[in-house]
Structure 1
Amino acid sequence: MNLEKLLLVVCLGLTFWLYWVSDDYDKLNDKHTKLKSDFNEQVAINEDYEKRIESLHELDIKHTTELTNAKAEIDKLRDDVRSGAKRVYVKAKCPSPENSSTSGVDVGRSPTLEGDAEQDYFNLLKQLKTLEKQFLGLRDYYYTECKK
């Protein structure tokens, strides 16, 4: 009889132990499923971020290249003007002298900028191109990132 009681106690103990283990197994399995789902979602988010970062990198390269080219073009124009290969002309009218005496102004030649004003012109032109490229870059960034 003692053996039967002992066997009954062992069977009951094993039953409770199996119930406890299976309950823990179910909880762990649920956690595993949730973690796997969260992981897959995070992988998808990371892939999307990588695509967006690559898109922004391509935009940055495009606009930086355009800006560099525009600045190089302005520098070449400045060098050409400095060397005399090209000229910068200003649309202007020189007032005619009130008396008919000859003035020191050569009216047969088109008006041009003086040296300092010419350099200021090129500096302003370069700043204008820089601002234009920055604006276009920001506009493209806005349409790429913010208008989704």
Structure 2
Amino acid sequence: MPAPIASRHVSTVIRRAPKEVYAYAADPDHLPAWAAGLAQSEVTRQGDTLLVDSPMGQVQVHFVPRNDLGVVDHDVVLPSGTVVTNPMRVLAHPDGAEVLFTVRQIELTDDEFERDVALVAADLERLREILESSAPA
């Protein structure tokens, strides 16, 4: 039996209303600005499928439908065809909003997994910087 897939939760607190954070984070057009671990250029749409040039090569991204619960889950189809489900939430926090992202060790060595966790942490920090430096909606 193979070893269980490791998961790590990465989060950051953003001093903005959860609805504002959700609206920005759930908009695929904003991915290149803050999610360098996923999107390195503009997002191309093919129906409900998003095509993204990522550090892993071109990947397909499928977000859950917009919702009032702060759920920004998305599946990423890797060049190998493997589908990685990425749970992501925008939660209410006493200081504004907390963004929580679960990183899973799928098709990654331990070193690659640690690098991926660090990339997600850097992406969430960029998201925080962008949202805290812009005027409230």
- Pair in the same fold by TM > 0.5: no
Instruction: Return the index of the structure with the highest Cα Rg.
Output: 1
Judging by fraction of residues, say which structure has more strand.
2
TM interval, short-chain normalised: under 0.3
Judging by fraction of residues, say which structure has more helix.
1
